[in-house]
Chain A
Amino acid sequence: GNSVTQMEGPVTLSEEAFLTINCTYTATGYPSLFWYVQYPGEGLQLLLKATKADDKGSNKGFEATYRKETTSFHLEKGSVQVSDSAVYFCALRMDSSYKLIFGSGTRLLVRP
């Protein structure tokens, strides 16, 4: 079946470090891909999305490129801030489907 695999956390970085959170997917078809962020005590917020191969989603300095050949959607940011500390979820949604399939989440901790 369709699934999403994320790297295990927590990821601990110093402020201004480069961030990569890996996400790979398995899907029978061509899904739309999403990154969500969850700050402590809050719900999930959409961070970025990409709906077809080679699309790049970007928001708030974060980027992710939809790579069909490697079935990946890795999240990157050039210089993280303390305020980026949160849990990040990769998710996919198949065409004509209600279902959003999540990875298990990766906790990011950024130290000053």
Chain B
Amino acid sequence: DTEVTQTPKHLVMGMTNKKSLKCEQHMGHRAMYWYKQKAKKPPELMFVYSYEKLSINESVPSRFSPECPNSSLLNLHLHALQPEDSALYLCASSQGPSGSGSYNEQFFGPGTRLTVL
């Protein structure tokens, strides 16, 4: 299984709603990522989990709350979002850091298209 899956594919929510995005991989990867991508812009890194611990938080507002329940799952909890948070949210995974710090390509899911009204 070389796939990263994301649910839901599309999500429309109001500014007072609470919702969650889910990501799953079964490749044994130990690093997982959340990216945000606006139209015609590059993916912007939000969070990195390495061995189920949050290792990078790119100064993301607290209305976005990541969670890594186990090595295969990554959630992004959303609360009190703003219309400007509407974007494609991409999850990715990679083998994770080795002792030598070697690079590993990231495998991306198809994304969740989020619209905040």
Are A and B interaction partners?
Answer: no
Instruction: Using CB atoms and an 8 Å cutoff, list the residues of chain B in contact with chain A.
Output: none
